Structure 1
Amino acid sequence: MINTTDYVGTLFDNSESNPSKITLAFTMAGVALKKGHSASVILMVDAVHLALPNALDNVNIGAPFEPAGELLEAFIEKGGQVLVCSACMKHGGVEESAIDKRFTVISGDDVVELLMNAKGSLQLN
């Protein structure tokens, strides 16, 4: 686990509660990558359910935004990392063995370290 990244987006909502926040989280993280920064999106609270494979496939808020599943794929392809809070997973009933294998499970201590060392962050809560 790295303890630094230039940009950290924290996402708290799942697709049922707020698809706009999901789309915005991955859009802005993608912009950070395009500008040459390292970027991470941390899934916390209800957003841990988005760590399940294909969870973003039906999240599409419409123009001018791309569908969230496409944003996620482009983000990972360009080197972005998706991190999932372990305590939030336990609280939300999400098993580590069930999540997308491209995602990394992190602790609360890791969340604090990443936020404190980032050049910038966007908290969607």
Structure 2
Amino acid sequence: MSHSNTDLLITLTAHESDENNVTIAFTMGIKALEKGHKTEMLLLSNAVHLGEKGYADKIDIGPPFSPINEALQTFLENGGTLKVCKACMEHNGVKEESLISGADVITADYVIDALMGAKKSLQLN
């Protein structure tokens, strides 16, 4: 599986335990898409919860930033791709059927290939 066409790969490991990093990840992802960069976000560790329906509703750090439920929709609508770690989902009790539309389940092999193939990466851990 080739990922050489991904311009920016964002890896996120936080959920509401670090609302600032979650907000930065989506803010920068949206900005990269607006600038025409193909952008993919990997949800790893606790961040897999963000792929669950309704979960993003609980994160909003306030102006000037958008609430995460809005930012997540904007990210996807603008062409961003959202990948969710399968092993992390299992570990955190997240079921595939609970994921939002547009979230794809991926494996560790995919993560490594995506990291190695991306032009740039932004890691928010």
* TM-score interval (norm. to shorter): over 0.9
Alpha-carbon distance in 1 for matches of 2:64, 2:110: 34
Deviation at residue 91 of structure 1 after TM alignment? 1.2
Alignment identity in percent? 44
Deviation at residue 101 of structure 1 after TM alignment? 2.6
Deviation sequence 1:61-90 (CA, Å, 0-9, x none): 112111111111111001101100011111
- 5 Å matches for 1:1-125? 3-4=3-4, 5-15=6-16, 17-125=17-125
Contact 2:3 2:118 in 1 (8 A): no
Contact 1:3 1:110 in 2 (8 A): no
Where in structure 1 do 4 or more consecutive aligned residues deviate above 4 Å?
none
Deviation at residue 2 of structure 1 after TM alignment? 5.8
- The runs of 5 or more residues in structure 2 that have no matched partner are none
Deviation sequence 1:26-48 (CA, Å, 0-9, x none): 00011110111110111100111
Alpha-carbon distance in 2 for matches of 1:85, 1:47: 9
Query: Please, what TM-score do these two structures have when normalized by structure 2?
Result: 0.93
**Structure 2 residue identity aligned to 1:97:** E
SS of the equivalent of 1:20 reads helix
- The runs of 5 or more residues in structure 1 that have no matched partner are none
**Structure 1 residue identity aligned to 2:15:** N
Alpha-carbon distance in 1 for matches of 2:76, 2:113: 21
Contact 1:7 1:32 in 2 (8 A): yes
**Structure 2 residue identity aligned to 1:90:** E
RMSD between aligned residues: 1.3
